[in-house]
Chain A
Amino acid sequence: MAERRLILLGLALALGCTAFLLWNLRVPMGFILSLRATKLAALVIVGAATGAATVLFQTVAGNRLITPGIVGFDALFVFLQTMLVLTLGGAGYATLPTLPAFLVETACLAGAGVALFGLLLRRGAGDLIRLVLSGLILGVMLRGLSGFAQRLLEPSEFAVVQQASFASFGAVDATQLAIAAPILGLALALAWRLSPRLDLALLGRDKAITLGLDFDRFVLGVLALIAVMVAVSTALVGPVTFLGLLAAALAHALLRQPRHAALLPAAAGLGALILVSGQFLFERLLGFQSTLAVIVEFLGGLVFLALVLRKAAR
Chain B
Amino acid sequence: MIEIEGLRVERDGTPILHDLSLALPAGGITALIGPNGAGKSTLLLTLAGLIGPAAGRVRLDGDDLHALRPQARALRLAFLGQDQAQVSRLTVREMVGFGRWPHHRGRPGAVDRAAVAEALEVFGLGALAERPVSSLSGGQRQRTQIAMAHAQATPLVLLDEPLSALDPRYAREVMEALVAMAHDPVTPRSVVVVLHDLGMAARYADRVVAMKHGRLAAAGPRREVMRDAVLSDLFDTGLKLREVEGADVVLPA
Interface residues of A (CB under 8 A from B): 195-197, 199-200, 202-204, 206-207, 209-215, 256-258
6 more A-B residue pairs beyond the given contacts A196-B105, A209-B70, with a C-beta to C-beta distance below 8 A: A202-B85, A202-B90, A206-B83, A207-B84, A210-B73, A212-B75
Residue contacts A-B, CB under 8 angstroms, 25 given = A195-B106, A197-B106, A199-B106, A200-B101, A200-B106, A202-B90, A203-B87, A203-B98, A204-B83, A204-B85, A206-B48, A206-B79, A207-B85, A209-B49, A210-B50, A211-B98, A211-B99, A211-B102, A211-B152, A212-B73, A213-B101, A214-B69, A215-B70, A257-B89, A258-B88
B90-115 residues at the A interface, CB under 8 angstroms: 90, 98-99, 101-102, 105-107
Q: Which residues of A contact B81 (CB under 8 A)?
A: 206-207
- A197-B106, A209-B49, A212-B101 are contacts. A258–B89 as well, Cβ < 8 Å? yes
- A200-B101, A215-B70 are contacts. A210–B89 as well, Cβ < 8 Å? no
Q: Which residues of A contact B107 (CB under 8 A)?
A: 196
4 A-B pairs closest in CB distance: A196-B106, A212-B74, A203-B85, A212-B102
Query: Which residue of the partner chain, among A197, A213, A258, contacts B87 with CB atoms under 8 Å?
Result: A258
Alpha-carbon distance A256/B87, docked complex (angstroms): 12
Let me know if B83 and A210 touch, CB within 8 A: no
Q: Which residues of B contact A197 (CB under 8 A)?
A: 106
Q: Which residues of B contact A211 (CB under 8 A)?
A: 74, 98-99, 101-102, 152
Query: Which residue of the partner chain, among B78, B87, B88, B90, contacts A210 with CB atoms under 8 Å?
Result: B78
Let me know if B71 and A210 touch, CB within 8 A: no
Q: Which residues of A contact B101 (CB under 8 A)?
A: 200, 211-213
Let me know if A258 and B152 touch, CB within 8 A: no
B31-80 residues at the A interface, CB under 8 angstroms: 45, 48-50, 69-71, 73-75, 77-79
Q: Which residues of A contact B152 (CB under 8 A)?
A: 211
B129-170 residues at the A interface, CB under 8 angstroms: 152
Alpha-carbon distance A126/B89, docked complex (angstroms): 19
Let me know if B70 and A213 touch, CB within 8 A: yes
Interface residues of B (CB under 8 A from A): 45, 48-50, 69-71, 73-75, 77-79, 81, 83-85, 87-90, 98-99, 101-102, 105-107, 152
Let me know if A210 and B74 touch, CB within 8 A: yes
- How close is A210's CB to chain B, nearest CB, in angstroms? 4
For B83, B84, B101, which residue has the most chain A Cβ atoms within 10 angstroms? Answer: B101
Alpha-carbon distance A211/B106, docked complex (angstroms): 11
- Chain B residue nearest to A203 in the complex (CB): B85
Alpha-carbon distance A204/B71, docked complex (angstroms): 16
Q: Which residues of B contact A200 (CB under 8 A)?
A: 98, 101, 106
Alpha-carbon distance A210/B88, docked complex (angstroms): 21
- How close is A157's CB to chain B, nearest CB, in angstroms? 48
Alpha-carbon distance A202/B85, docked complex (angstroms): 8
Let me know if A210 and B79 touch, CB within 8 A: yes
Alpha-carbon distance A211/B97, docked complex (angstroms): 11
- How close is B67's CB to chain A, nearest CB, in angstroms? 14
Q: Which residues of B contact A214 (CB under 8 A)?
A: 69-71
Query: Which residue of the partner chain, among B50, B85, B90, B105, contacts A209 with CB atoms under 8 Å?
Result: B50
Let me know if A258 and B71 touch, CB within 8 A: no
- How close is A113's CB to chain B, nearest CB, in angstroms? 26
Q: Which residues of A contact B79 (CB under 8 A)?
A: 206, 210
- How close is A274's CB to chain B, nearest CB, in angstroms? 23
Alpha-carbon distance A257/B90, docked complex (angstroms): 7
- How close is A313's CB to chain B, nearest CB, in angstroms? 16
- How close is A170's CB to chain B, nearest CB, in angstroms? 39
Q: Which residues of B contact A215 (CB under 8 A)?
A: 70
Alpha-carbon distance A199/B84, docked complex (angstroms): 15
- Chain B residue nearest to A261 in the complex (CB): B106
Q: Which residues of A contact B70 (CB under 8 A)?
A: 209-210, 212-215
Q: Which residues of A contact B99 (CB under 8 A)?
A: 211
Alpha-carbon distance A202/B75, docked complex (angstroms): 20
For A195, A196, A197, A210, which residue has the most chain B Cβ atoms within 10 angstroms? Answer: A210
Q: Which residues of A contact B83 (CB under 8 A)?
A: 204, 206
- Chain B residue nearest to A202 in the complex (CB): B87
Q: Which residues of A contact B74 (CB under 8 A)?
A: 210-212
Let me know if A256 and B89 touch, CB within 8 A: yes
- Chain A residue nearest to B154 in the complex (CB): A210
Let me know if A212 and B98 touch, CB within 8 A: no
Alpha-carbon distance A55/B211, docked complex (angstroms): 44
Q: Which residues of A contact B102 (CB under 8 A)?
A: 211-212
Alpha-carbon distance A199/B107, docked complex (angstroms): 12
Q: Which residues of B contact A196 (CB under 8 A)?
A: 105-107
Alpha-carbon distance A155/B123, docked complex (angstroms): 71
- Chain A residue nearest to B75 in the complex (CB): A212
Query: Which residue of the partner chain, among A206, A212, A213, A258, contacts B90 with CB atoms under 8 Å?
Result: A258
Let me know if A206 and B71 touch, CB within 8 A: no
- How close is A21's CB to chain B, nearest CB, in angstroms? 37
Alpha-carbon distance A291/B70, docked complex (angstroms): 49
